[in-house]
């Protein structure tokens, strides 16, 4: 089964439409118990008033966004800012660890190439 065919869970990035057809993109903050309603933190929309707000959307109107395999340093820094502003501690830690791994790999690559140039 493809990752995008699986049910979206809390923290997943999704895109979809509201009941009145507004396009939204964001991440799932939570599911409402005993219903198909999902609460989404909107990060972009064709209705700018929705950006930065949590909205309720029926899960049949959303679709999971494919997870990007590798983030650039700038993307990670932006996501870390978002995690801090939304007080998502686990996400912050995950992103910080990924940034540290990226920086470590840059240092390893950088030191290897410098020594090969010197020798």
Decide: 94 and 27 in contact? Cβ < 8 Å: no
Q: Which residue has the higher pLDDT, 102 or 62?
A: 62
Sorted by where each begins, the domain ranges of the chain are 3-64, 73-118
Tell whether pTM > 0.75.
no
Give the pLDDT mean for 86-90: 85
CATH architecture of structural domain 3-64: Roll (2.30)
- Helices 89-118 and 73-85: crossing angle, nearest 10°? 160
Tokens of 53: 């707000």
Burial class (CB in 10 A: 0-12, 13-18, 19+), 45: buried
pLDDT in tens, 92-119: 888 899 899 888 887 776 655 444 344 3
> What confidence tens digit (pLDDT) does each residue in 6-43 have?
788 888 889 999 999 999 999 899 998 898 999 999 98
């Amino acid at each position: 089964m493809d990752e995008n065919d699986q049910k979206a869970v809390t923290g997943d990035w999704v895109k979809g439409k509201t009941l009145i057809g507004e396009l939204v993109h964001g991440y799932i903050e939570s599911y409402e118990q005993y219903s198909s309603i999902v609460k989404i933190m909107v990060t972009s929309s064709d209705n700018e008033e929705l950006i930065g707000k949590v909205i309720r959307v029926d899960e049949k109107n959303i679709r999971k966004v494919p997870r990007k395999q590798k983030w650039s340093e700038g993307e990670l820094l932006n996501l870390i800012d978002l995690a801090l502003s939304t007080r998502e501690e686990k996400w912050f830690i995950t992103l910080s660890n990924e940034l540290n791994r990226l920086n470590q790999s840059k240092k390893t690559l950088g030191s290897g190439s410098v020594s090969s140039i010197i020798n």
